[in-house]
Amino acid sequence: MKSKAGKLAVAAGLAALVILALLCPRLLRAQGPWGFAPPTTPMAQRNALNVVQSQVNWLQNSARTASGYDTGAYGMVWQQFSMLCTAYNSFKATLTQQQLAAGANEWAELDAGLGILQEAFKDYQQEVAAGQSSASALRRMCQDLDEAAGVWWQELSNDSVQLSVGWQ
């Protein structure tokens, strides 16, 4: 049985850690916002890839329905695109160093593909600034995003199979 002094010392130590964590959270965060390295297991990779696929579907759905909204359509589509980027980066965090190295060119092309998707938003803004109606510019942007997101997903899917992502 521990003495009272021992129990107090443990409690004081825990309290000091809590205070340190509250006052200096950056000191305790060694590996990104999670506080731990994401798992690189095949199951974690499959789950993360499924999240990316779902997010592509959400982006495509928002692109297909955006023209039916009176306001906020651009923001809705932008939000879905941002969430796709986040899901893809989370997926990449589940890859092993070997998978990242073996597929370096593929991952770079997929990153560039997201950059191309992002260009659709810039094109929309330029078209509206040049005097085109926001409705027609939005329609064109959404058509481009719908098609391009499908191509991007197919490329990610093919590359993942080729590199045995989620099946090691």
**What pLDDT is stored for residue 64 in this prediction?**
95
Q: Residue ranges of the chain with pLDDT lower than 50? A: 1, 8-32, 34
Exposed / middle / buried, residue 110 (Cβ in 10 Å: 0-12, 13-18, 19+): buried
CB 88 within 8 A of CB 110: yes
**Are the C-beta atoms of residues 166 and 46 closer than 8 Å to each other?**
yes
State pLDDT tens for residues 82-125: 999 999 999 999 999 999 999 999 999 999 999 999 999 999 99
Alpha-helical regions (H) of the chain: 4-23, 25-28, 42-65, 73-93, 97-102, 104-129, 134-162
Q: What is the reported pLDDT for 70?
A: 76
Q: What pLDDT score was predicted for residue 1?
A: 47
pLDDT at 110: 97
So where are the chain's domains?
1-30, 39-162
CATH topology of domain 39-162: Four Helix Bundle (Hemerythrin (Met), subunit A) (1.20.120)
